[in-house]
A = this chain, B = another copy of it.
Amino acid sequence: MKSEILRLLKESDGYLSGQQLCSHFLVSRTAVWKVMEQLKKEGYEIEAVRNKGYRLVDSPDVMSRAEIESLAKGRWAGARVVYYEETDSTNTRAKEAADKGGGQGEHGTLFVAERQTAGKGRRGRGWESPAGASIYMTLLLRPDFLPIKAPGLTLLMAVAVAKGIRKCTGLACKIKWPNDVVINGKKVCGILTEMSAEIGYINHVVIGVGINVNQERFPKEIQDRAVSLKQELLRSVRRSELIAAVMEEFEVCYEIFLKTEDLSGIKEQYNRLLVNQDQDVKVLEPGNEYEAHALGINDTGELMVRMKDGRERCVYAGEVSVRGVYGYV
């Protein structure tokens, strides 16, 4: 009921009558009043006027199941939220829920944490996850296609994050191939996709997303490579709204992906957002390093590059990394 009342408060232009809420949810006035008190405690500014009802004056940067669910616009992506004040890692939570089955283990559940005690970066590395300023979330998917198609999902999420940030903030963020989101060459979001599969059958895919939202500064070691939305905007961003925007974009992208089971329907959007597009890049293969010109991704998400001798190659995300010839991106 809390998520629903919050959604009604947000969608209402004027006052919501307490009586109407009572009859809508078939509960007492006291029950409605209690929910309002809970919401106030969580930081919502709610005005209550006799004979008029309740009105939401201001929503702060609240992260909670009710807040995120109340903002969800899609049919399935993030429609069910599992929220933790603190957990080890949202990817780990999502994988466990998937293995266990039950409602939380279903396609589209979103796991969100205020703080991670064992946040995960790529290849078993850590991901610093203090409270209060970031988004740490993991979307659980149970696709029906072959495991070999799954790497495309991580590029879909990069598009969804970039578009979600643009929508919420107007910032011109871009994608660094394959799946970092950057602003002016600094990283604002990292994505860690993990899959559990049998031969020819996906058990589940979890896509972990870490977004720097309201940090005011970063540790010295990374301050020339990392940036938050607040640093660019000089104001705070409501994390739950950004989460909802990203989920809405992801749902659209995913359904386009499903039609062809590849990136052909997303490729153009992706390439428009690609910071490497038409840039000289350094391709770092194990034991081999060369400069090339990036042409954009193909239908399977590989980066097509033209080498100095004019030959074109497809570069696979797992095998190589790509760097701008000048600087980090």
A residues adjacent to B (C-beta < 8 A): 92, 95, 99, 122-124, 146-148, 151, 154, 178-179, 192-201, 203, 316-319
Contacts and interface: CB of A to CB of B under 8 A. Distances in A.
Contact of A178 (B148, B154, B199): B199
B196 A316 contact: no
Contacts of A198: 122-123, 192-195
Contacts of A201: 122-123, 318
A140 B123 CA distance: 18
18 contacts: A92-B99, A95-B196, A122-B201, A123-B198, A124-B203, A146-B319, A151-B200, A179-B199, A192-B198, A193-B198, A194-B203, A197-B197, A199-B317, A199-B318, A200-B317, A200-B318, A200-B319, A201-B318
A193 B199 contact: yes
A126 to B, nearest CB: 13
Contact of A318 (B147, B195, B319): B147
A195 B193 contact: no
Most central of A95, A151, A195, A199 by chain B CB within 10 Å: A199
When all copies of this chain in the complex are counted, the total is 2
Given A92-B99, A99-B92, A151 B318 contact: no
Contacts of A317: 199-200
A147 B318 CA distance: 9
Contacts of A124: 203
Nearest to A147: B318
A281 B316 CA distance: 35
A99 to B, nearest CB: 7
A316 B200 contact: yes
Contacts of A123: 198, 201
A178 B198 CA distance: 13
Nearest to A153: B199
B318 A146 contact: yes
A178 B201 CA distance: 14
B199 A197 contact: no
A196 to B, nearest CB: 5
A192 to B, nearest CB: 7
Contacts of A197: 194-195, 197
A281 B319 CA distance: 37
Given A192-B198, A194-B203, 19 more contacts: A95-B99, A95-B196, A122-B198, A123-B198, A123-B201, A124-B203, A146-B319, A147-B147, A148-B148, A154-B199, A178-B199, A194-B196, A194-B197, A194-B198, A195-B198, A199-B318, A200-B316, A200-B317, A200-B318
Nearest to A124: B203
A83 B17 CA distance: 63
Contacts of A199: 151, 154, 178-179, 193, 317-318
Contacts of A200: 151, 316-319
Contacts of A148: 148
A13 B194 CA distance: 52
